[in-house]
Structures are given as C-alpha cells and as structure tokens.
C-alpha cells in the first residue's frame, strides 16, 4: 500500500515537473509582447518567395525577439466597442479615417514619440499622405497604412464609359439590376450626396477649369459640399437612395468584387483596392474590367495605425516602422491588393514593373505627387482605365477627391436613421391585406371569448356576490 502511494506521488511529481519544464520552454517567457488589432486579411502572413510574399508578423518577431499577439476585427465599430470595454488590451490598432478622427477627439490614443520622427515611416511614407495628415492634425497620433479612392469597377462590354464618368450611372434604367452598392451608411451616403449635388459640383469644376480658383480652394469647397449633413441634404439624399434601390441588384459588403469578376453584375460601387482584386480575378476568366472615378468627385479614404492609451509605445512604433520599409510595403500590396502609403524606391520599381510599358502606344503617367519629384512612368493607353488608375490615381483626380469627416453623435444618429429608412423593406399591398385579415380574425375570436365569459362564467357560491373592480 505504501509502495503504491509512493509511486503515485512520484508520478504526480514527474508530471508537474514536465509541465513546469514545458512552461519554461514557452516562446513567450521573458519576451516582450506586442498586441496588434487589425482588419481581417490585412497583412501578409504567408511565406511564398515566388509570389513576393513573406510572413511579416513572424519576421518582426524574429528580428526583434518579441511575441506578437495578433487579433482581427470586422468593422470599425466592433474595434471601437472592444477598446471601450478593454481599453488596455491592445498596443496597436488600425482603424479607418473617420474612426481615427473620433479616437483622437475622444483622447483614446497615444501621441508618437519624438524618436518616431526619424524612423522608416517618416522617411518613406508618401509626401502627399504625410501632408494630408499634417494639414488635418492627425500626424502626431496616426500613421497611414493603406489608402485609395472610391469609384465604379465595370464591364466595358456592357457599360458605356461615358455613363460611368458620372455617379448618376446607377440611376439609369438601362443598368437596372446590374449594379451593387455598399451596405455601408457612410459610403452610400457619399454616393447619394454626390448625385444630389451634381449640378453644384459640375459648376465648381467648371470654375476651377476656367482658372477662377486654385486647386486648394477648389478642393476645400468640394470637401465642404461632400460633408454636408443638414436636414434638407439628408432628406434629399434619402429620397434618391430610396429611388435607387429599385434599380440595384443589391447591397453588399465584400461580395461585389467577385460578383463583378464573375459577371454576375456589370457595375460595382467599389473601394479601389477591391476594384484591383476584381480586375485581377476577372482576367483569369478572360473578363476584362475597368475602373472609373466619376468626374464630379470621389472620396479619399485611408486606414492607419494608432496606439491606444497605455500602449507599449516603443514596441508599437518599431512595428509601424518595420512594415513601412519599402520591401515590406511591396510584400503587403502583393498580398492585400490595396495601395500602401509607402513611397520608397522599391515601391516605385514595383509600379514600373507591374504597369510600365514601352512603345508607340504608351502615354506618360505622372506620379510625382505621390512618390516625389520626376517620378513618372509610361503605360499603355488601353490600361489607363485599369489597375494603375485604381492603385495610383492621377493628381487631376486627387484634386477632386474629398476626405469624409467624422460625424458627431447627433449627426451620426441622424445619418443612421436616414439609412434605416433607405434600407427598410416596403410592405406590399397583399401583405397589408393579410395583416388586416389576421387582425379581423383575432378580434372576432377575442369578442367571442368575451361574450362567452359574460354569459357562461362561473356563478358565485350561494350567499356570495361578485364584486366589480373599482
């Protein structure tokens, strides 16, 4: 009996020792941990030299001897709510433009250190984006990651290029049930507002073309128009979006690019990165799609890195600088399909390799605003409406692009209420008839029971009486 007890104790001791040994061998022991919160599928996490991919998270861990706890979210609102619940749960997050504005305003993020000014991000990030961030007061708190525009990815076999040079194409009867728009209040509000304000935007563009104002003034006035949220504007946008619903194939969040690539639809209101994916996928099935940024205006959007209050600032800044190295930015673009905010020589060489061409049928494509002085390539004329225009729009397009500002709580509630009315499904006549019929039957049954209760209810015992309420 004693021997058995000794053996049992010995085995328990050995098991505990083994657990302690394995725990001591854990890769996290003694290492700093960086907690990153990013969009799904939004960083290269595969090693494939042939495709120009590498696992950036593992590479960062190896270079700095740290551990990265990497989590993903599906919407800006999910990310924001998570941070409100778990304020110190992350060191680095990647919200979109309007959410960055909100987090800065609500004092939810840490400023960058003085040393960050000398790192890879400040060295290689596009001058255009750095100036945009500086002008709007974001540069002390946010570093741009990916960016782009919004427009139409479309099939030129079935859609006239001239039609999709205006946002009004979606309202045309000729394209009924052939298009999709975003199931997103902000993006679709921008679309509706551009349609409502078309005459004003066209007049503004004409004045700019005639030299009546400079590019900065033109963009400022356009940005003011595209950020209107007064009651009259909201009502006008709501009416036009409700009217548009009858013309749509449907609303979508992520399926539009593949629907366009497969031929299910002919026009998709798309983020430029998704347009690139659609065009690439379409080519595999011999379906060649184009991208159009309408003449009235477009939206400059971006996603960027911010550090929540209490973050490990030193390690978070190292990660931003690491993925801002041009070779890593190229790796990310190969994996994601979106345009990096980084503009180093390796990125410019990648653009030349992917889109550059030689010969008589080429035209110059100036990218100096993004990459720096004298950065221009030659592209085939037939490719001007394809991937290059989605990844790197011309400066003429940039001049008519607005950044959509953050809505305060009151405006956000009004815009969301408008969107709920737009998305609401109208009740058809036959449904009203059914509802009335069911209500009539229910009323009849209720009256029947009421009458029965009065005439055949139980009688009080002898010597008692029923007391009336009240």
Q: In this predicted model, what pLDDT tens digit does every residue of 91-108 receive, in sequence order? A: 999 999 999 999 999 999
Arithmetic mean of pLDDT, 10-39: 63
The residues, any chain, with a CB within 8 Å of residue 130's CB and separated by 6 or more, are 122, 139, 144
Predicted local confidence at residue 28, as pLDDT = 58
If we measure between CA atoms, which residue out of 111, 102, 108 comes closest to residue 83? 108
Helix, strand, coil percent content, the chain, rounded in steps of 5: 55, 15, 30
Determine which of 27-41, 46-60, 277-291, 414-428 has the lowest per-residue pLDDT on average: 414-428
DSSP state of 114: G
Tell me the average pLDDT of the chain.
Answer: 89
DSSP state of 444: H
The yes/no answer on whether domain 150-299+394-423 falls in CATH 3.40.190.10 is yes
Q: Give me 151's structure tokens.
A: 């427009």
Predicted local confidence at residue 454, as pLDDT = 44
The segment(s) of the chain belonging to CATH 3.40.190.10 are: 27-147+305-330, 150-299+394-423
Question: Do 303 and 95 form a contact (C-beta atoms < 8 A)?
Answer: yes
Question: Do 273 and 148 form a contact (C-beta atoms < 8 A)?
Answer: yes
Q: Give me 304's structure tokens.
A: 């960027």
Q: Over 80: is that where the pLDDT of 304 sits?
A: yes
What is the value of pTM for the model shown? 0.84
pLDDT band at 419 (very low <50, low <70, confident <90, very high): very high
If we measure between CA atoms, which residue out of 139, 87, 75, 56 comes closest to residue 335? 56
pLDDT band at 431 (very low <50, low <70, confident <90, very high): very low
If we measure between CA atoms, which residue out of 197, 145, 137, 208 comes closest to residue 167? 197
Element (H, E) at 19: helix 2-24
Q: Integer distance in angstroms from the first to the last C-alpha of the chain?
A: 81
If we measure between CA atoms, which residue out of 109, 116, 114 comes closest to residue 315? 116
pLDDT band at 52 (very low <50, low <70, confident <90, very high): confident
Distance separating alpha carbons of residues 326 and 55, to the nearest angstrom: 15
Question: Do 145 and 384 form a contact (C-beta atoms < 8 A)?
Answer: no
Give the ranges where 374-428 is alpha helix by DSSP (H).
387-391, 395-399, 409-423
Predicted local confidence at residue 468, as pLDDT = 37
Predicted local confidence at residue 30, as pLDDT = 80
Q: Over 80: is that where the pLDDT of 179 sits?
A: yes
Distance separating alpha carbons of residues 277 and 42, to the nearest angstrom: 14
Torsion of CA 299, 303, 309, 314, to 10 degrees: -140
Predicted local confidence at residue 13, as pLDDT = 47
CB-based burial label for 28 (10 Å; 0-12, 13-18, 19+): exposed
If we measure between CA atoms, which residue out of 43, 221, 149, 53 comes closest to residue 370? 149
Q: Give me 317's structure tokens.
A: 């800044």
Question: Do 380 and 357 form a contact (C-beta atoms < 8 A)?
Answer: yes
**Quick one: fold of 27-147+305-330?**
D-Maltodextrin-Binding Protein; domain 2 (3.40.190)
pLDDT band at 166 (very low <50, low <70, confident <90, very high): very high
Predicted local confidence at residue 465, as pLDDT = 38
């Amino acid at each position: 009996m004693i021997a058995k007890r000794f053996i049992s104790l010995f085995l328990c001791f050995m098991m505990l020792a083994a657990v302690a040994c394995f725990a001591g061998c854990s890769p996290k022991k003694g290492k700093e941990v960086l907690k990153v919160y990013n969009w799904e599928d939004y960083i290269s996490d595969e090693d494939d030299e042939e495709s120009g991919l590498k696992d950036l998270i593992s590479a960062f861990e190896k270079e700095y001897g740290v551990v990265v706890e990497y989590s993903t979210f599906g919407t800006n609102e999910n990310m924001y709510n998570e941070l409100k619940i778990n304020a110190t749960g992350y060191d680095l997050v990647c919200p979109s433009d309007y959410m960055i504005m909100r987090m800065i305003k609500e004092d939810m993020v840490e400023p960058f250190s003085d040393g960050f000014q000398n790192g890879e991000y400040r060295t290689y990030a596009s001058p255009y984006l750095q100036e945009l961030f500086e002008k709007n007061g974001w540069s002390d708190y946010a570093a741009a990651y990916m960016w782009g525009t919004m427009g139409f990815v479309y099939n030129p076999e079935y859609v006239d290029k001239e039609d999709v040079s205006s946002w009004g194409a979606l309202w045309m009867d000729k394209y009924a049930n052939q298009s999709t728009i975003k199931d997103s209040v902000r993006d679709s509000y921008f679309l509706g507002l551009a349609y409502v304000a078309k005459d004003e935007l066209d007049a503004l563009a004409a004045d700019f073309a005639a030299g009546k104002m400079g590019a900065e003034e033109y963009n400022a006035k356009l940005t003011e128009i595209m950020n209107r949220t007064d009651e009259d504007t909201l009502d006008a946008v709501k009416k036009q979006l409700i009217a548009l619903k009858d013309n749509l194939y449907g609303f979508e969040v992520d399926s539009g690019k593949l629907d366009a690539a497969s031929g299910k639809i002919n026009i998709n209101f798309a983020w430029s990165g998704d347009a690139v994916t659609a065009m690439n996928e379409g080519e595999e099935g011999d379906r060649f799609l184009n991208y159009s940024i309408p003449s009235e205006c477009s939206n400059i959007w971006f996603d960027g890195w911010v550090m929540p209050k209490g973050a490990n600032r030193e390690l978070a800044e190292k990660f931003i600088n690491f993925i801002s190295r041009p070779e890593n930015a190229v790796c990310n673009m190969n994996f994601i399909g979106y345009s990096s905010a980084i503009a180093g020589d390796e990125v410019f060489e990648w653009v030349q390799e992917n889109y550059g061409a030689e010969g008589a049928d080429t035209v110059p494509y100036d990218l100096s605003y993004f990459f720096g002085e004298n950065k221009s390539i030659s592209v085939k004329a037939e490719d001007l409406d394809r991937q290059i225009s989605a990844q790197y729009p011309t400066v003429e397009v940039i001049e008519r692009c607005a950044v959509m500002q953050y809505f305060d709580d009151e405006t956000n509630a009004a815009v969301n209420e408008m969107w709920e009315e737009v998305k609401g499904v109208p009740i058809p006549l036959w449904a009203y008839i059914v509802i009335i019929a069911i209500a009539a039957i229910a009323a009849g049954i209720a009256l029947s029971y009421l009458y029965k209760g009065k005439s055949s209810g139980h009688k009080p015992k002898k010597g008692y009486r029923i007391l009336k309420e009240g």
